[in-house]
Structure 1
Amino acid sequence: MSRYDVGTTLEIEVGAVAHGGHCVSRVDGRVVFVRHALPGERVVAEITEDKGGSYCRADAVRVLRAAPGRVEPPCPLAVPGACGGCDWQHAAPELQRELKARVVAEQLSRLAGIERETEVEELPGGMLGWRTRMRLVAGRDGRAGLRGHRGHDVIALPDCPIAVPGILEPVVSRRWRPGSEVEVTSDGDGRPHVREQTSARGRRQTRQLRGGRAVEHAAGRDWKLDAHGFWQVHPAAADTLAEVVGRWARVPEGGRAWDLYAGVGLFASVLAGQAGPRGEVVAVESNRGAVADGEANLADLPQVSWRAGRVEHVVRDLGEGGAPDVVVLDPPRAGAGRAVVESIVEVAPARVVYVACDPAALARDLATFAGHGYSLADLRAFDAFPMTHHVECVALVERG
Structure 2
Amino acid sequence: MSSDTQTQAQTELIVDVGPVAHGGHCVARHEGRVVFVRHGIPGEKVRVRLTESGPDAKFWRGDVVEVLTASPDRVDHFWDLADSVRSWSHRHPPVGGAELGHIALGRQRSLKAEVLAEQLRRLAGVDLTHAEEGFTVEGAAGESGPKAAAGLAWRTRAGFAVTPAGKLGMHAHRSDTVLPVREMPLAVDAINALRLWDIDLQGIERVEVAAPANGSRPLVLLVPAPGTRAKRLSAVLAGLPEDVSVASFDPVKGEVLRLRGRTYVQESASGHDFRVTGDGFWQIHRDAPATLVGAVTGFLHDGGFLEPGAVVADLYAGAGLFTAPLADAVGETGSVLSVEGSPGTSRDARKNLHDAAQVEIVQGKVERVLREKARKFDAILLDPPRAGAGKAVVNHLVGAGPRAVAYVSCDPASFARDLGYFRQSGWDLAGLRAFDLYPHTHHMETVALLTPRG
> Closer, same or farther in 2 for the Cα pair 1:203/1:329, shift >3 Å?
closer
> Closer, same or farther in 2 for the Cα pair 1:385/1:73, shift >3 Å?
same
Between the aligned partners of 2:419 and 2:174, the Cα distance in structure 1 is 29
Between the aligned partners of 2:259 and 2:13, the Cα distance in structure 1 is 48
Higher mean displacement: 209-218 or 386-395:
209-218
2:198 is aligned with 1:173: yes
Q: CA deviation at 1:7?
A: 6.0
Between the aligned partners of 1:61 and 1:112, the Cα distance in structure 2 is 36
Match of 2:107 in 1: 95
> Closer, same or farther in 2 for the Cα pair 1:370/1:227, shift >3 Å?
same
Report the aligned-residue RMSD.
Answer: 1.9
2:387 is aligned with 1:387: no
Match of 1:244 in 2: 295
Amino acid at match of 2:354: A
Q: Helix, strand or coil for the counterpart of 1:388?
A: coil
Counterpart of 2:381 (choices 323, 328, 342) is 328
Higher mean displacement: 381-390 or 182-191:
182-191
Counterpart of 1:275 (choices 330, 333, 337) is 330
Match of 1:120 in 2: 137
Q: Helix, strand or coil for the counterpart of 2:77?
A: coil
**Contact 2:337 2:359 (C-alpha < 8 Å) held by counterparts:** yes
1:10-47 Cα offsets, whole Å, 9 max, x none, are 11100000111110001111110001100000001111
Higher mean displacement: 122-131 or 58-67:
122-131
Match of 1:188 in 2: 213
Match of 2:235 in 1: none
Q: CA deviation at 1:310?
A: 1.8
Between the aligned partners of 2:442 and 2:76, the Cα distance in structure 1 is 17
Counterpart of 1:63 (choices 67, 92, 97) is 67
2:70 is aligned with 1:72: no
Match of 1:86 in 2: 98
Higher mean displacement: 308-317 or 322-331:
308-317
Q: Helix, strand or coil for the counterpart of 2:417?
A: helix
Between the aligned partners of 1:215 and 1:360, the Cα distance in structure 2 is 32
Between the aligned partners of 1:154 and 1:208, the Cα distance in structure 2 is 27
Q: Runs of 5+ in structure 2 lacking a partner?
A: 1-5, 85-92, 130-134, 228-250
1:200-240 Cα offsets, whole Å, 9 max, x none, are 26967865555432111111112222153111101100011
> Closer, same or farther in 2 for the Cα pair 1:181/1:208, shift >3 Å?
farther
**Contact 2:316 2:341 (C-alpha < 8 Å) held by counterparts:** yes
Amino acid at match of 2:175: G
Counterpart of 1:111 (choices 109, 123, 135) is 123
> Closer, same or farther in 2 for the Cα pair 1:203/1:276, shift >3 Å?
closer
> Closer, same or farther in 2 for the Cα pair 1:265/1:56, shift >3 Å?
same
Amino acid at match of 2:74: R
Between the aligned partners of 1:387 and 1:259, the Cα distance in structure 2 is 30
Higher mean displacement: 197-206 or 278-287:
197-206
Counterpart of 1:162 (choices 186, 205, 212) is 186
Amino acid at match of 2:291: T
Q: Helix, strand or coil for the counterpart of 1:180?
A: strand
Q: Helix, strand or coil for the counterpart of 2:79?
A: coil
Match of 1:301 in 2: 356
Counterpart of 1:286 (choices 333, 341, 355) is 341
Q: CA deviation at 1:166?
A: 4.0
Q: Helix, strand or coil for the counterpart of 1:100?
A: helix
Amino acid at match of 2:368: H
Between the aligned partners of 1:348 and 1:239, the Cα distance in structure 2 is 29
**Contact 1:171 1:182 (C-alpha < 8 Å) held by counterparts:** no
Q: What's the TM-score, normalizing by structure 1?
A: 0.94
Q: Helix, strand or coil for the counterpart of 1:77?
A: helix
**Contact 2:428 2:450 (C-alpha < 8 Å) held by counterparts:** yes
How is 1:335-354 mapped onto 2 (pairs within 5 angstroms)? 335-354=388-407
Q: What's the TM-score, normalizing by structure 2?
A: 0.83
Amino acid at match of 2:186: I
Counterpart of 1:15 (choices 15, 18, 28) is 18
2:25 is aligned with 1:40: no
Match of 1:358 in 2: 411
| Corresponding pairs, count | 395
Amino acid at match of 1:102: E
2:169 is aligned with 1:145: yes
**Contact 2:204 2:223 (C-alpha < 8 Å) held by counterparts:** no
Q: Helix, strand or coil for the counterpart of 2:189?
A: coil
Higher mean displacement: 46-55 or 257-266:
46-55
Instruction: State the identity as a percent.
Output: 42
Q: Runs of 5+ in structure 1 lacking a partner?
A: none
Q: Helix, strand or coil for the counterpart of 1:109?
A: helix
1:263-301 Cα offsets, whole Å, 9 max, x none, are 111111122122211111100001122222212211221
Between the aligned partners of 1:344 and 1:104, the Cα distance in structure 2 is 23
Between the aligned partners of 1:294 and 1:171, the Cα distance in structure 2 is 30
Amino acid at match of 2:378: D
